[in-house]
Structure 1
Amino acid sequence: MQPDPLSILISRIDFGLISSVHILFPPLTIGLAIILFGFELAWFRTNDERWYRLCRFFEKLFIVNFGAGVATGVTMEMAFGILYGPFSQAAGPFFGQVLGYETITAFMYEAGFIGLMIFGWGKISRKMHLFATFNVALSSTLSAMWILVANSWMQTPSGVEFKNGMFQVTNWLQALLNPNVFAAFPHMLLAAVELSLCFVVAVCAWFVFKRREVQLFARPLRYTLVALAAVAAVQIYMGDVLGENVLEHKPAALAAMEGQYDTYDENGNVNNAWNVIGWPNKDNTGLAWSIKIPHALSLIETKTWNGAVEGLNSFPEDERPPVILPFYTFRAMAAIGGAILLVALWGCWLSWRGRMTEGLASANRLFLMACTGMVVLPYIAVIAGWWTREIGRQPWIVYGMMRVEDGMSKLSVGLATFWLIGFAIFETAVVLGTIYFLLKVCRNGPDLTSPVAGDGDEHLGELDLPSSAGHADHPEYIRPV
């Protein structure tokens, strides 16, 4: 018995909301942990107090975001069981194992070192604290890797057989190293770093714009703009690599992303134009209108002038994904990627001209406003990219093997609505609370007055232990926080 169509729609909206909110937080956790390690490494090597102050300030923002990511992540795992019970049971032999690996090798690993990173200042040595920060960054990246392994398997399932309603793993190596993961994981990791660099750029630009602590924020603003320009450029290339992977393994998804209905024109010739914008006709058999660039789609996807890109009309009607959402979310993601690169290059040009020094940076009012406002763009791009990926897989929950309606729980309309309202209230509260506390930390600004944390042995000196003799007179002694 299939679930009620209205119940399916409500549950899909519910899970779309939950996953869209959750994906706002892990990218910043991953990328900001890497940036924090970079800041702390700079402090460790130079002993410049400004890097320490930046670490402590951005660490507060990291903690707020990390908490929101954990809360929405737990909610998402609940939603799998509630809304997609048959899928969770069927995919358990693979999906459950991978999430277990993520818990052991990433989540528990991260939980141990994040305590040292947050509470270890002045209690452990600077070298050990740097090691803890490195491991938080590494474990966050490992977490993303395992999640992308699981999701990529849903996009390009391999190494399994679907027998008696269960996915039986026949080859673990093939399942883990499925065709999509090699392009999807680097693309997502770069997205996390790019979002985090935009976040740091926006925060630094806001302080410089307000002429608050310019001596602290002007330098990291210059450095992160250079890093952002490099990462944004590489991300555009990785997006192209992922597009070629989708063309090979999920051609229907690529056809929906590009609004490509017919492989050949009425004369039997290949002329795969790239549709800049367009709208499907009422029968969903072609575009009612479009603005297109001849041959561009062939050049982008096949790197040839007349390479064939399979159209949606080549696939059975009940196996075609929707067009409007993936078509425009893909373009939104690509446009935002280009805009971020242009702003970063603008900043690099200003730096090259010597206009981003501590004394002159605040005068670039328009640029600083653009940097601050840009903070919303990578979040939109991440959601748009996720929608492109997930909606493009429709009508499959496991591509070519299990349809969405077969993996959904058989909820009544009333119960599905109950869960939608409940999850929506919770997710809204998390988002608003996170924004409030992030803004509060920024309004309060960095702490520039508390003593700089010293090594753990110096902390012991405050307890008047015998091993601390002589520390108070040491010229490099700094009283820890």
Structure 2
Amino acid sequence: MTTSDFSAFISRLDFAWITSFHIIYPPLTIGLAAMLFIAEWRWVATEDPGWYRLCRFFEKLFVVNFGAGVATGVTMEMAFGILYGPFSQAAGPFFGQVLGYETITAFMYEAGFIGLMLFGWGKISRGMHLFATFNVAFASALSAFWIMDANSWMQTPSGVELKDGVFQITDWTKAILNPDFLYAMPHMVVASIELSLCFVAAVSAWYVLGGRHVALFRRALLWSVLTLIVVAPLQIWLGDGLGRTVARDQPAALAAIEGHYDTLTPSGRPNTGWHVVAWPNAKGDGTAWAITIPHVLSLLETHSWNGTVPGLNDFPKDQHPPVVIPFYAFRAMVAVGGLLFLVALWAAWLAVRGRLSVARIASNRWFLRALIVSGFLPYLAIWTGWWTREIARQPWIVYGLMRTRDGVSNMSAATAIFWLVGFMLFELMVWGGAWYFFAKVIRRGPDMDSPIPAPGNESLGHLETNPEEAEDSGYVRPV
């Protein structure tokens, strides 16, 4: 390996580290902002202070996560220029402008309303505060729109031509609404909602398991897990659509994800068995061993029994993506999706049997423990899904048009290592700080004593729990 190759490898490893840490924050920001809006809307509509208490509590966790996302996001954009200078220059006419749109139309938009959402309680009307919360949620989703659009364009570049080393825009509509984006964007948004549902359910289960504010958090838990019954299969369906898009537009990437090497068997029939587990052989032209289910790959990618799915050996060797990481990362993501759906069905079964009432919910200790574990599983799914997406695109930084090695900045090995160490320490510091404050907020619990803003910005006074009403709703009434 030459010094140039080593520097390029370190730069790629560095950016992989940066994006892997950053991507754990925006999805929770997107989903939790939407859930805060729904909780506040229910409070405004019903005058039920239980929704207010939940909204204020999870708002604190939202702020911690939002701050970590901003810190790591700014770092990631800085890393584009440092680690991928040639790519940033070549893709600037589209990629740079899209990131600029995200800053102007989403980040600054969100920043304008988040202050009202956090500090406007009791200072502005309920309707205006609800409007501010809605705009924070909307701006978070709009930010995801632009970021996913930029990344999707790297997967399926449309509406551009590479001329004199620069990607010139020929059709903005095609560039923005590129094929990958049409499924990748909703897939990421639903993943954000799924993560947030599991996060809220896990935190609520922890309180219920510990016997703290059971009535209040039973409500958040129940709404989260029952919504998951709809969201989990929706995510699976969107994932299937995205997979077929990859099969059509990035066939080499799909072949790597599935560990699929040979298109046809010796008999001339399509070889479309799906590998449950496998390992590539030493030559890299097949599997050394595999556990395979016949025809399933065809069913997944072509929705037919004997459809043709191109194998890796149909492509030049220098265009083969790595196989092991995307192969197993994809299966980990799918496994998490299936497990979350099973947890949602378990919750539905308990609800139908009346075992999620305030009086009985704490007795389902294994279910509550499963929910706590499920709070971490979506992070694993997002990580492995992102690794699958990015590694299977190799050796291209812009699929089919620009190789990654041509987009990496030319720097010495010492400089590359310096940036790697610096970014690693920064990301770990942010990650540690985020978890410290998450734990601090959760240990402290919700504020059940502060005045609740009333219509006209008047305080309702201190609150005490009404035992009869709290049985099912966690309702608290004014003294």
Q: Give the shorter-chain TM-score range.
A: over 0.9
Contact 2:194 2:232 (8 Å CA) reproduced: yes
- 1:105 aligned residue: 105
Amino acid in the other structure paired with 1:380: L
Q: Please tell me the residue identity of whatever aligns with 1:328.
A: Y
Q: For 2:262, give the aligned amino acid.
A: D
SS in 1 for 2:458: helix
Shift of 1:345: 1.0
CA contact (8 A) 1:321 1:392 kept: yes
What SS does structure 1 have at the residue aligned with 2:20?
helix
1:5 and 2:5 are equivalent in the alignment: yes
Question: Does 2:431 correspond to 1:422?
Answer: no
User: Residue 223 of structure 1: CA displacement?
Assistant: 1.1
- The alignment-based identity, stated in percent, is 62
Gaps of 5+ in 1: 460-476
* 1:186-219 deviations in Å (ceiling 9; x for gaps): 0000000000000000001000000100011111
Q: Residues 353-368 of structure 1 correspond to what in structure 2 (within 5 A)?
A: 353-368=353-368
CA distance in 2, matches of 1:51, 1:478: 15
- Residues 1:139 and 1:404: Cα distance change in structure 2 (over 3 Å): same
TM-score by length of 2: 0.95
C-alpha distance in 2 between matches for 1:253 and 1:188: 19
In structure 2, C-alpha distance between the alignment counterparts of 1:360 and 1:75, rounded to whole Å:
47
Instruction: Output the CA distance in 2 between the equivalents of 1:371 and 1:172.
Output: 44
- Quote how far apart the aligned CAs of 1:280 are: 0.3
Instruction: Name the structure 2 match of 1:150.
Output: 150
Query: How far apart, in 1, do the equivalents of 2:215 and 2:448 lie?
Result: 12
Query: Match for residue 458 of structure 1?
Result: 458
Which whole-Å CA distance do the structure 1 matches of 2:78 and 2:14 have between them? 12
1:204 aligns to 2:204 (yes or no) = yes
Q: Matched residue pairs, number? A: 461
Aligned to 1:221: 221
C-alpha separation in 1, matches of 2:67 and 2:252: 38
Q: Distance in 1 between matches of 2:354 and 2:342?
A: 19
Letter in 1 for 2:261: Y
Structure 2 residue 192 is matched with structure 1 residue 192 = yes
Distance 2:167 2:401 in 1: 9
What is the Cα deviation at residue 244 of structure 1?
Answer: 0.4
Which residue type is aligned with residue 383 of structure 1? W
Amino acid at match of 1:438: F
2:262–2:271 CA contact under 8 A, matched in 1 = no
Partner of 1:136: 136
SS in structure 1 of the partner of residue 276 of structure 2: strand
**Counterpart secondary structure, 2:205:** helix
Shift of 1:375: 1.2
Match of 1:306 in 2: 306
Aligned counterpart, 2:30: 30
Structure 1 partner of 2:467: none
Looking at structure 2, the residues matched to 139 and 3 of structure 1 have their Cα atoms a distance apart, in angstroms, of 43
Is 1:117 aligned with 2:117? yes
Q: CA deviation at 1:79?
A: 0.6
CA RMSD of aligned residues (A): 1.3
Give the Å deviation of 1:81: 0.5
Deviation per residue, 1:415-441 (Å, 9 max, x gap): 000000000000001111111110110
* Runs of 4 or more above 3 Å deviation: 455-459
Aligned to 2:470: none
Residue 290 of structure 1 corresponds to 290
**Aligned-partner residue type, residue 365 of structure 1:** R
- The aligned counterpart of 1:81 is 81
Alignment of 1:431-450 (within 5 A): 431-450=431-450
Gaps of 5+ in 2: 460-476
Q: How does 1:272-291 map to 2 (within 5 A)?
A: 272-291=272-291
What amino acid is the match of 1:245? Answer: T
One-letter code aligned to 1:378: P
Q: What are the Cα deviations for residues 150-180 of structure 1, in whole angstroms up to 9, with x where unaligned? A: 1000000011110111111011111111111
TM-score (norm 1): 0.94
Structure 2 partner of 1:16: 16
Verify the 8 A CA contact 1:157 1:175 in the aligned structure 2: yes
Cα distance, 1:458 vs structure 2? 3.3
Aligned partners of 1:453 and 1:478 also within 8 Å: no
Helix, strand or coil at the partner of 2:196: helix
Hey, what does 1:408 align to over in structure 2? 408
For residue 456 of structure 1, report the CA deviation from its aligned partner: 5.3
Structure 1 residue 11: Cα displacement = 0.8
Counterpart of 1:203, as a letter, is V
- Mark the CA change 1:348 to 1:294 in structure 2 (over 3 Å): closer, same or farther: same
How far does residue 3 in structure 1 lie from its aligned partner after superposition? Answer: 7.1
Residues 341-420 of structure 1: pairs in structure 2 closer than 5 A: 341-420=341-420
How far did 1:454 drift? Answer: 2.7
**Alignment check: 8 A CA contact 1:154 1:398 kept:** yes
Tell me which amino acid in the other structure corresponds to 2:15.
F
